Amino acid sequence: MTRQNIVAISRDDTTPNVEPQRFKVYTARQLQQIPQLAQLSEEQRFDMQVVASVLPFRVNEYVINELIDWQNIPADPIFQLTFPQRGMLKPEHFERVASKMRDGADQASLNQVINEVRADLNPHPAGQLEHNIPQIDGETVQGLQHKYRETVLFFPSSGQVCHSYCTFCFRWAQFVGDKDLKIAARESGQLQEYLRAHPEVTDVLVTGGDPLVMKTKNLRAHLEPLLTEEFAHVRTIRIGSKALTFWPQRFVSDEDADDLLALFSEIQAAGKHLALMAHYNHWRELEPAIAREAIRRVRATGAQIRAQGPLLAHINDDAATWARMWQTQVELGIIPYYMFVERDTGAQHYFEVPLIKAWEIYRDAMQQVSGIARTARGPSMSSHPGKVEIQGVAEINGEKVLALRMIQGRNPDWVQRPFFAEYNEQATWLNHLKPAFGADKFFFDA
């Protein structure tokens, strides 16, 4: 099948004629230039500037004009998803930075305080730098993570940005300009070398940032070598992206959109499974016509779209939102994949939901959809030992406990292993839990 033929199958007679759109983005430096923010008070805009100096901020005009309801500010979920709020910094952190800005401190003094605050926000949770970075012949491989036996994560350097940033992002440290906090590969040669040495790896996840900010020719340079017989053991290629929400034009009207879809088809034609790991946080992200056209075009290549995202206070912490999102995803041909627990980093205190409440929301949402929409696993914590699923509350021998299961683990022997923790209504992360039944430690603590 030629590349021209592959492109042709992504279009049909119903494909709308969408004019290319200019991609315009605002960062912290242009925050005050966003016209819609004029409706906020001067104090609110200052608060946003303080938070945006610590946590990364980036938003584009599509999100501003098409996804946010400016009549519902600040409660609008997409506004909360993309624009900084004062509560995203703890009061003591906020005041340290705000006082420097009010006093007109020089940039070096301000940066020192900002960096100290960032260091307090657990910039790389779950051992991302200490325990997940692999080596070849004793030398660290930059831009790779290998936590689970079957799956390697690849961070191409030109994909370490996003079309817009999520305020809750657990990889926020990638975007603040500190080289010591960044995971990025300058080229894919080491990925290929590492895969040659590790035939147990079946899945490569290209992640970031967002790999789909790259031009297709650059993404192609990373992925085409994996389609050869030499890498037959790599059976699935995953691409982690929020482009279907933040810039669906990437699949529809960008100048290399057709080439991107052709690449997707070529991966499938090579006998690999291609999964677009789409990040969704609210059903509103699925509503625009161009977003639905982007989904249709991706699916026409044979690629599979799987949807995942965390449960977040201020954005989606109710069952009806999740039920509507899952049902809409199924109707559009997307597979609900994961409901995550907000990670212990960045603005966690603003977004976190107690684990028991998270499970109740998950259960109630599942009760509102049919079996075909019940493919989402969760609520799941991507913790240091592995992905831990909250399965519910139980009473065993008169003791009320939290039932959990290790979905994925650093040690393959841990996978699917159930365990129990003491009942705790305040716990929001694994390290807040204690083993049930008087045990000294969980099995993975050893």
Rounded Cα distance, 70 and 65, in Å: 9
* pLDDT over threshold 90, residue 188: no
Which range among 169-173, 215-219, 374-378, 421-425 shows the weakest confidence by mean pLDDT?
A: 169-173
Q: How confident is the model at residue 174 (pLDDT cuts 50, 70, 90)?
A: confident
- Does residue 178 or residue 407 have the better pLDDT? 407
Residue 30 lies in a domain: yes
Residue 183 lies in a domain: no
What mean pLDDT is predicted for residues 45-69? 97
Q: Could you give the strand order of the β-sheet that contains 335-341, starting from the edge strand earlier in sequence? A: 144-148, 151-154, 203-206, 236-241, 273-279, 304-311, 335-341, 377-382, 386-396, 399-409, 417-422
Q: What is the pLDDT of residue 8?
A: 46
Q: Are 273 and 236 in contact, with CB atoms under 8 Å apart? A: yes
Residue 14 lies in a domain: no
Q: How confident is the model at residue 343 (pLDDT cuts 50, 70, 90)?
A: very high
* pLDDT over threshold 60, residue 196: yes
Residue 333 lies in a domain: no
Question: In this predicted model, what pLDDT tens digit does every residue of 84-111 receive, in sequence order?
Answer: 999 999 999 999 999 999 999 999 999 9
What mean pLDDT is predicted for residues 181-200? 81
For residue 198, the tally of other CB atoms under 10 A from its CB is 16
What mean pLDDT is predicted for residues 331-339? 98
Q: How confident is the model at residue 385 (pLDDT cuts 50, 70, 90)?
A: very high
Q: What is the pLDDT of residue 446?
A: 78
Q: How confident is the model at residue 136 (pLDDT cuts 50, 70, 90)?
A: confident
Q: Residue for token digits 């900084």?
A: 84
Instruction: Give the DSSP letter string of 281-327.
Output: --GGGG-SHHHHHHHHHHHHTT-EEEEEEEE-TTTT-SHHHHHHHHH
Residue 278 lies in a domain: no
Residue 156 lies in a domain: no
Q: What is the pTM of this model?
A: 0.92
Which range among 135-139, 158-162, 416-420 shows the weakest confidence by mean pLDDT?
A: 135-139
Which range among 5-9, 182-186, 241-245 shows the weakest confidence by mean pLDDT?
A: 5-9
* pLDDT over threshold 60, residue 12: no
How many whole angstroms from its chain centre is CA 201?
A: 22
Q: Are 240 and 246 in contact, with CB atoms under 8 Å apart? A: no
What mean pLDDT is predicted for residues 171-180? 77
User: For the chain, how many structural domains are there in total?
Assistant: 1
Which range among 37-41, 119-123, 134-138, 151-155 shows the weakest confidence by mean pLDDT?
A: 134-138
Q: How confident is the model at residue 118 (pLDDT cuts 50, 70, 90)?
A: very high
Q: What is the pLDDT of residue 36?
A: 97
How many whole angstroms from its chain centre is CA 160?
A: 13
**Structure tokens, 388:** 């831990």
Question: In this predicted model, what pLDDT tens digit does every residue of 199-248 receive, in sequence order?
Answer: 999 999 999 899 999 999 999 999 999 999 999 999 999 999 999 999 99
Residue 59 lies in a domain: yes
What is the phi/psi pair of residue 14, to 5°? -95, 0
Q: What is the pLDDT of residue 20?
A: 82
Given CA atoms 195, 199, 201, 205 in this order, what sign does their dihedral have?
A: positive
Q: What is the pLDDT of residue 130?
A: 60
Which H or E run includes 358?
A: helix 355-366
Q: Residue 50's domain spans which residues?
A: 21-119
For residue 28, the tally of other CB atoms under 10 A from its CB is 17
Q: Are 373 and 330 in contact, with CB atoms under 8 Å apart? A: yes
Q: What is the pLDDT of residue 300?
A: 98
**Which ranges of 301-441 does DSSP label H, i.e. alpha helix?**
319-331, 348-351, 355-366
Residue 227 lies in a domain: no
At 76 the three-state DSSP class reads: coil
Q: What is the pLDDT of residue 203?
A: 97
* pLDDT over threshold 80, residue 13: no
Rounded Cα distance, 386 and 401, in Å: 21
**Structure tokens, 223:** 């992925």
* pLDDT over threshold 70, residue 185: no
What is the phi/psi pair of residue 55, to 5°? -100, 145
Question: In this predicted model, what pLDDT tens digit does every residue of 256-265 receive, in sequence order?
Answer: 999 999 999 9
